[in-house]
Amino acid sequence: AVTTATMAPLTDLRPTPDDITGDALAGLSATPKRLPSKYFYDARGSQLFEAITRQPEYYPTRVEIALLDAKMAEIAEAVGPHAHVVEYGSGSGRKTLQLLEGLQDPVAYTPIEISRTTVLAATERLAEAFPGIEMLPVCADFTQPVELPEPAREPGHTLVFFPGSTLGNFTNDEAVALMRSMRETMGRNGQALIGIDLEKDTGVLEAAYNDAAGVTAEFTLNLLARLNREIGSDFDLDGFRHRAVYSRERGRIETFLVSQHAQTVTVDGRTFDFEAGEAMQVEYSHKYTDARFEDLAARAGLKVVNRWNDGDDWFGLRLLQP
């Protein structure tokens, strides 16, 4: 009863459905070949990502959760009361729980997700924990500006929450475009709280994306399994190996699937030849310095007004305003 009182029906902005076949064909036709990392997250991929966050080498999730915990009083003070919290994407909900618990009397929570079932499941879990916060799930593509549903109680302002360094999966130009839409969505007195992974020792970075248990390799290869399942391609999962390397020049982990021998793959009736050792690019994970991140924010018309790092400067939270 408490749940239904605060749970609004889904606002469905009818995002254009993903064209997996078209995207795969375009990527495989490019030189060098690539596949988009957004397709990692089917049910199995999301499960594997959760498993990655439990690997000893993968520090970002652990460090960000500890950082949120340690700095929540300061964050709440800087954000101010009565926020309408708008989350871009929704993961396990762990960090959302921390934020909604720590903020001063937030009036509403809006997760924005491309998947209707995911966004509803995330909201239902939180609705039980926060009967006093209006839940306003939105199905939309968060890379575009979103017209937000209006909370019953007048919010002080909008706070966009984008944790997990998900921003890092976008190229710098894409990250600027995304932050520009974020600025439109939040409005003139809005804010954004963004989690960013920071540049550090190459050994630490590469270990995080090449865990000893091989969970990240399985996560990467699941992309091929998903394509085989959903678009009928015939990738041989034993014929490709995961490789993640840090480019200090480009400030990012670059993940590839490397063809172990010469082979041909068929997708939607078209064939693609791989040479032995050919590397297909499947994911970027940008690692930021203050200068690099502030430059991207500035290009999007946003200013960094507060910054919080863990004691080792491994991970950061940044509060941005127009």
The residues, any chain, with a CB within 8 Å of residue 241's CB and separated by 6 or more, are: 217, 257, 258, 260
Q: Both tokens of residue 243?
A: 């490789």
- The whole-angstrom separation of Cα 24 and Cα 39 is 10
Tokens 């302002």 found at: 157
Between 62 and 82, CB nearer to ligand AVJ: 62
Of the pair 134, 211, the CB lying nearest ligand AVJ is at 211
Query: Judged by CB under 6 A, how many residues of this single chain contact ligand AVJ?
Result: 12
Give the nearer residue to ligand AVJ in terms of CB position, either 191 or 285.
285
**Which residue's CB is nearer to ligand AVJ, number 157 or number 200?**
200
Q: Determine the length of the chain.
A: 322
Closest distance of CB 113 from ligand AVJ, Å: 14
Query: Which 44-63 residues touch ligand AVJ, going by CB under 6 A?
Result: 52, 60
Q: CB–CB of 168/290 below 8 Å?
A: no
Least separation in angstroms between CB 208 and ligand AVJ: 7
Q: Where does the chain have alpha helices with state H?
A: 2-6, 20-29, 43-52, 60-79, 94-102, 116-129, 172-186, 202-208, 215-231, 290-299
- The 260-299 contact track toward ligand AVJ, x by CB under 6 A, reads -----------------------x-x--------------
The answer to the question of residue 205 lying near ligand AVJ (CB under 6 A) is no
Residue 209 or 235: the one with the smaller Cβ distance to ligand AVJ is 209
Which tokens belong to 94?
Answer: 């762990």
Q: Using CB under 6 A, pick the residue from 59, 88, 162, 209 that binds ligand AVJ.
A: 209
Cβ 295 to ligand AVJ shortest distance, Å: 20
**What residues from 151 to 180 belong to the interface with ligand AVJ (CB under 6 A)?**
164-166, 168-169
Instruction: Tell me the β-bridge partners of 158.
Output: 84
How far is the C-alpha of 28 from the C-alpha of 61, rounded, in Å?
32
Q: Are 79 and 317 in contact (CB under 8 A)?
A: no
* Strand (E) or helix (H) holding 45: helix 43-52
CB of 37 to ligand AVJ, least distance (A): 8
Binding residues for ligand AVJ, rule: CB under 6 A, are 52, 60, 164-166, 168-169, 209, 216, 219, 283, 285
